[in-house]
Amino acid sequence: MKILRIEAIPYSIPYNHPLKFASGQVTDAEHVLVRIHSDEGLIGEADAPPRPYTYGETQESIITIIEKVFAPQLIGLDPFDRGKVHEVMARTIHNQVAKGAVDIALWDLLGKALGTPVHKLLGGYTDSMRVSHMLGFKPAQELLDEALRFGEEYGITTFKLKVGRRPLALDIEACHVLRAGLGDDVELYLDANRGWSANEAMEVLRRTEGLGLTALEEPCDAKEAMSRRRLVEKSPIPIVGDESVPTAGDVSRELLSGGSNAICIKTARSGFTEATEILGLCTGLGVDVTMGNQIDTQVGSLATVTFGAAHEATVRRAGELSNFLDMADDLLAEPIRINGGRISVRNVPGVGAAIDEDKLSQYRQN
């Protein structure tokens, strides 16, 4: 089998409610659908969500790097020769989300060629994941109302609160209001998207002591190496690396330098192949992982579940899988259902993210 053609299709779907966080906000899913066609008529698909404030990639840059740089070198290769594909992509630095989508689309293609679900190819540990819902910036009472609604409607009992605001009291109040309103059995953790300094993060940890928060993600820029290391040493809860660790090399650097002591894995920026390397590093070192959300569509969330459910270490914690609920629509032909706070893998060949072609025609931008 050979790679015949690679498409990078821009599309835009509005959000019903924008998601706001310390490094930016999302009002429309202006993403790229990547399609890898084989000479045998199979198509592997994946979603690429540009996050300029996180990785510097845009919808245009993802299309350009795939069409102008990757495709000419990948066309003609056997999609099973993933080592060769990765050698090609590794010649270009950065562009993690573009590379991640090509990798996932390839796995989808391989699963279809083998007639096997990709979660089985990756590890086949279990068939569903618990869902963690990400709460964006809002007044404290609105956050609590949203969390209570998600608990009632979907059975979700784990929430990640976006923080990193100034004054710090805004986020500290939100933590107290959520804990008081949700009770002790609901898991709460924080993600500051580099909004604070390490010392500000330390103050927040002091002023939220006793609330049972389970982790703090990217409190400050990991490049502030000394203060970040000091925070990791002093923090009573894990300090999770997210945007500082898109590659396995970044994970090694942050763990070895003491910049993080837990790792967020995102398939949107690491694909399944590099996510597997990252997971191996973390399990080998005894470091906890979470499956994160790149503010994914249903197509992207299904990729996260496919990888997350395949391994024991990635289902210990709830995966961030539900932010597609804020979108007005999606490309996925058969919508994801959240039942009892869980999302299931699809037992069909590939990743199982069949695209609704009418919706793609409606939302595509070229």
The catalytic residue positions are 162, 191, 217, 242, 266, 294
Token output for 346: 């699809």
Residue placing its CB nearer to ligand MUC in the complex, 85 or 156: 156
Output the CA angle 142-50-8, nearest 5 degrees: 135
CB atoms within 10 A of CB 344: 18
- Helix boundaries (H) for 183-314: 198-207, 225-234, 248-256, 267-285, 298-308
Inter-residue contact 265 to 290 (CB < 8 Å): yes
Is residue 301 at the binding interface for ligand MUC, with CB under 6 A as the rule?
A: no
Is residue 108 at the binding interface for Mg ion, with CB under 5 A as the rule?
A: no
Q: Can you say how many angstroms the Cα of residue 195 is from the centroid of all Cα atoms in its chain?
A: 19
Residue placing its CB nearer to ligand MUC in the complex, 319 or 350: 319
Q: How far is the CB of 263 from ligand MUC (least distance, A)?
A: 12
Q: How far is the CB of 18 from ligand MUC (least distance, A)?
A: 12
Contacts 24+ apart (CB under 8 A), 55-61: 55/94, 55/96, 55/97, 55/243, 55/246, 55/269, 56/94, 57/94, 57/95, 57/96, 57/97, 57/98, 59/10, 59/30, 59/31, 59/32, 61/95, 61/98
Q: How far is the CB of 63 from ligand MUC (least distance, A)?
A: 19
**Of the candidates 242, 254, 274, 330, which one interacts with Mg ion according to CB under 5 A?**
242
Point out which span in 5-13, 72-80, 96-104, 215-223 binds Mg ion (CB under 5 A): 215-223
Residue placing its CB nearer to ligand MUC in the complex, 6 or 62: 62
Q: How far is the CB of 19 from ligand MUC (least distance, A)?
A: 8
* Residue 302 CB-density burial (10 A; 0-12 exposed, 13-18 middle, 19+ buried): buried
The amino acid occupying position 142 is E
Rounded CA gap, 238 and 125, in Å? Answer: 25
**Of the candidates 171, 242, 250, 274, which one interacts with ligand MUC according to CB under 6 A?**
242
Point out which span in 57-65, 197-205, 250-258, 290-298 binds ligand MUC (CB under 6 A): 290-298
Q: How far is the CB of 87 from ligand MUC (least distance, A)?
A: 27
* Residue 183 CB-density burial (10 A; 0-12 exposed, 13-18 middle, 19+ buried): exposed
**Of the candidates 38, 54, 208, 314, which one interacts with ligand MUC according to CB under 6 A?**
54
Residues 170-199 that bind ligand MUC (CB under 6 A): 191, 193
Rounded CA gap, 90 and 274, in Å? Answer: 11
In sequence order, the β-bridge partners of residue 332 are 355
Query: Per-residue x/- marks for Mg ion, 137-176, CB under 5 A?
Result: ----------------------------------------
Longest dimension (CA), the chain: 60
Residue placing its CB nearer to Mg ion in the complex, 65 or 134: 134
54 makes contact, choosing from ligand MUC, Mg ion, none, with CB < 5 to 8 Å by partner type, with ligand MUC
Estimate the crossing angle of helix 96-114 against helix 82-90, to 10 degrees.
170
Query: Per-residue x/- marks for Mg ion, 316-335, CB under 5 A?
Result: --------------------
Helix, coil or strand: residue 92: coil
CB atoms within 10 A of CB 328: 12
Residue with tokens 């793609």: 360
Is residue 294 at the binding interface for ligand MUC, with CB under 6 A as the rule?
A: yes
Residues 216-235 that bind Mg ion (CB under 5 A): 217
21 makes contact, choosing from Mg ion, ligand MUC, none, with CB < 5 to 8 Å by partner type, with ligand MUC
Residue placing its CB nearer to Mg ion in the complex, 30 or 242: 242
**Of the candidates 51, 130, 228, 346, which one interacts with ligand MUC according to CB under 6 A?**
51
Q: Interface residues with ligand MUC (CB under 6 A)?
A: 21, 23, 51, 54, 191, 193, 242-243, 292-295
Q: Interface residues with Mg ion (CB under 5 A)?
A: 191, 217, 242
